[in-house]
């Protein structure tokens, strides 16, 4: 039997982290954990409880309510990936809206939120055989991961990808607003005090601005094979 490893995929928003993570998990028979979905679910909860909106943010109320937030993933056989559940309710669609995207980086700056999610993520990956994507996987969650990838692409390419995703889903969005959101999240995610998005010393940087999905998959699979050997 080949050895099971931990694959950490970090990078800016909309760099295709989840696409490659899902492909790798399928190919290797590994668990895939989308940690961004967890931060998005906490954001949705905070919005529902009116702890946060575009004009206010009551961090103390959110922090004291954290123990009432239960997150889990449920595998959707038809779609072939795990969907996000918040307090037993499937919120996969709701967490992907632009409204959540606009507030999620603020929620992600709260150390108490990060502490809770990081410990749940470490638990999910403790037996290896996991592909996890996010912003702090190779630096904080699994600093000893055997393979660390850091995905980048130009902001314009990423905004175009996200715009297409939302339009294909039937959302009414405008491109400029998406580009602004991508740039604003990059800024907050990489400058926050707790676990900012940074390139780990031993991560391999991957700019896929001009790379097709097939080419990307083949290149990354060869890195995986080297790490597994």
Residue ranges that bind ligand DC, judged by CB under 6 A: 13, 35-36, 39-40, 104-105, 108, 134-137, 185, 189
Q: Report the nearest approach of ligand DC to the CB of residue 103 (Å).
A: 10
Q: Report the nearest approach of ligand DC to the CB of residue 35 (Å).
A: 4
Q: Report the nearest approach of ligand DC to the CB of residue 39 (Å).
A: 4
Judge whether 57 and 50 are in contact, CB under 8 Å. no
Q: DSSP letter at 11?
A: E
What SS3 state is found at 207?
strand
* Beta carbon nearer to ligand DC, 36 or 125: 36
* Beta carbon nearer to ligand DC, 125 or 134: 134
* Beta carbon nearer to ligand DC, 6 or 108: 108
Q: Report the nearest approach of ligand DC to the CB of residue 226 (Å).
A: 25
Kind and range of the H or E element at 85?
strand 81-86
- C-alpha–C-alpha distance, residues 4 and 228, integer Å: 7
Percent of the chain as helix, strand, coil, to the nearest 5: 50, 20, 30
Judge whether 147 and 8 are in contact, CB under 8 Å. yes
Q: Report the nearest approach of ligand DC to the CB of residue 89 (Å).
A: 19
Residues 6+ apart with CB under 8 A from 93: 169
* Beta carbon nearer to ligand DC, 124 or 228: 124
Reading across the β-sheet that carries 6-11, which strands appear in turn? 31-34, 130-134, 6-11, 147-152, 204-207
* Beta carbon nearer to ligand DC, 90 or 222: 90
């Amino acid at each position: 039997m080949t050895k099971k490893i931990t694959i950490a995929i970090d990078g800016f928003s909309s760099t295709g982290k989840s696409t490659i993570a899902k492909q790798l998990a399928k190919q290797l028979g590994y668990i895939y954990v989308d940690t961004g979905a967890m931060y998005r679910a906490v954001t949705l909860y905070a919005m529902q409880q009116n702890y946060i909106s575009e004009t206010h943010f009551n961090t103390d109320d959110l922090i004291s309510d954290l123990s009432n937030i239960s997150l889990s993933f449920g595998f959707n056989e038809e779609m072939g990936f795990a969907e996000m559940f918040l307090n037993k309710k499937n919120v996969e669609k709701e967490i992907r809206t632009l409204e959540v995207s606009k507030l999620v980086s603020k929620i992600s700056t709260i150390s108490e939120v990060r502490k809770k999610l990081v410990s749940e993520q470490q638990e999910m990956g403790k037996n290896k055989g996991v592909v996890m994507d996010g912003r702090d996987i190779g630096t904080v969650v699994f600093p000893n991961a055997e393979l660390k990838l850091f995905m980048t692409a130009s902001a314009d390419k990423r905004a175009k990808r996200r715009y297409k995703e939302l339009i294909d889903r039937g959302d009414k969005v405008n491109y400029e607003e998406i580009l602004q959101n991508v740039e604003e999240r990059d800024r907050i995610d990489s400058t926050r005090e707790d676990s900012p998005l940074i390139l780990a010393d031993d991560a391999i940087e991957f700019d896929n601005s001009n790379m097709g999905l097939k080419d990307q998959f083949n290149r990354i699979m060869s890195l995986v094979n080297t790490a597994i050997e």
